Structure 1
Amino acid sequence: MYIKMWTTIFILFFVCLRVNAFFDWNLHELQGPMNNQTFLTPKNILKVTPLLAAEKNWKKARKEAKVKPFAGKVKSFAGFFTVNEGYESNMYFWYFLSEKATKKAPVILWLHGGPGQSSMMGLFEESGPYVIVNGQAVLRETSWTKYYNVLYIDNPIGAGFSYTKQSEGYSKTIDEAVDNLYEALRQFFKMFPEYKKNPFYVVGQSYGGKYIPVLANLIHEKNSENSTKINLKGMMIGCGCLDPVHQIAFADYLYEFGIIDRKGRTDVKSYETRSKNLLEAGYPLLAIAPLGLIGLKMVNAGFKYPLDIDNPHIDLSSYDEVEAFVTSDDVRKEIHVGNAEFHDKKMVLWYFKSDLLNSVSAELSKTLKLGYKVLMYAGQHDLVIPHEQTDKVIEHLEWDGAKKLVHSQPQPWYVDKELAGFSKSYANLQQVFVRKANHMIVRSQQKWMLDLLKKFISG
Structure 2
Amino acid sequence: MGLTKSWALSLVLLGFVLFDTGFSTPLKANETWGYVDVREGAHMFWWLYYSDSPSASFSQLPLVMWLQGGPGGSSCGFGNFEEIGPLDRDLNLRKTSWVQYSSVLFVDNPVGTGFSYVDTETAYATDVATVASDMLVLLKNFFNERKEFQKVPFYIFSESYGGKMAAAISLELNKAVVKGSLKCNFAGVALGDSWISPLDSVMTWGPYLYTMSLLDDNGLGEVSAAAEDVKQAVNQGQYLKATALWSVTESVVEKNTNGVNFYNILTQEPEDSVTGVGYLSLLARRHIGPLHRQSLSELMNGKIRKKLGIIPKNVTWGGQSEEVFGSMSGDFMKPVVDVVDQLLDAGVNVTVYNGQLDLIVDTMGQEQWVKRLKWAGLPSFNKLRWMPLDDPVSPGGTGAFYKIYKNFSFYWILKAGHMIPSDQGEMALEMLKMITQQD
1:141 paired to 2:95: yes
The answer (yes or no) to whether the contact 1:223–1:229 under 8 Å persists in 2 is yes
Q: CA deviation at 1:288?
A: 2.6
What percent identity do the matched residue pairs reach? Answer: 25
- Give the aligned residue type for 1:141: K
1:392 paired to 2:372: no
Q: Deviations over 1:250-288 (max 9, x none)?
A: 111111122221122122222222211211111011123
The answer (yes or no) to whether the contact 2:223–2:253 under 8 Å persists in 1 is no
CA distance in 1, matches of 2:293, 2:88: 11
The answer (yes or no) to whether the contact 1:247–1:393 under 8 Å persists in 2 is no
Partner of 1:326: 300
CA distance in 1, matches of 2:182, 2:412: 37
Partner of 1:34: none
How many residues matched? 400
Partner of 1:264: 219
1:356 paired to 2:332: yes
Q: Could you list the runs of 4 or more consecutive aligned residues of structure 1 that deviate by over 4 angstroms after TM superposition?
A: 67-70, 314-318
Partner of 1:4: none
1:444 paired to 2:423: yes
The 5 Å alignment of 1:27-66 reads: 41=1, 49=6, 64-66=11-13
Q: Deviations over 1:124-146 (max 9, x none)?
A: 0000001022xxx1211111111
1:96 paired to 2:72: no
Q: Deviations over 1:330-362 (max 9, x none)?
A: 432321324222125210111101000011111
Distance 1:279 1:228, change over 3 A: closer
CA distance in 2, matches of 1:381, 1:182: 34
CA distance in 1, matches of 2:7, 2:29: 26
CA distance in 2, matches of 1:275, 1:442: 30
- Give the aligned residue type for 1:107: L
The answer (yes or no) to whether the contact 2:292–2:318 under 8 Å persists in 1 is no
The 5 Å alignment of 1:245-264 reads: 245-248=199-202, 249-264=204-219
1:195 to 149, 162, 181: 149
Distance 1:314 1:409, change over 3 A: farther
The 5 Å alignment of 1:147-166 reads: 147-166=101-120
SS in 1 for 2:118: coil
- Root-mean-square deviation over aligned CA pairs: 2.2
Distance 1:314 1:455, change over 3 A: farther
Partner of 1:342: 317
2:263 to 294, 303, 307: 307
Q: CA deviation at 1:291?
A: 2.6
Partner of 1:73: 28
CA distance in 2, matches of 1:50, 1:375: 31
CA distance in 2, matches of 1:317, 1:116: 9
The 5 Å alignment of 1:284-303 reads: 284-300=239-255, 301-303=257-259
1:110 paired to 2:66: yes
Q: CA deviation at 1:157?
A: 0.6
CA distance in 2, matches of 1:297, 1:89: 37
The answer (yes or no) to whether the contact 1:65–1:79 under 8 Å persists in 2 is no
The answer (yes or no) to whether the contact 1:298–1:306 under 8 Å persists in 2 is no
User: TM-score scaled to structure 1, two decimals?
Assistant: 0.82
Partner of 1:125: 82
The answer (yes or no) to whether the contact 2:356–2:413 under 8 Å persists in 1 is yes
The answer (yes or no) to whether the contact 1:405–1:425 under 8 Å persists in 2 is yes
Gaps of 5+ in 1: 1-40, 52-60
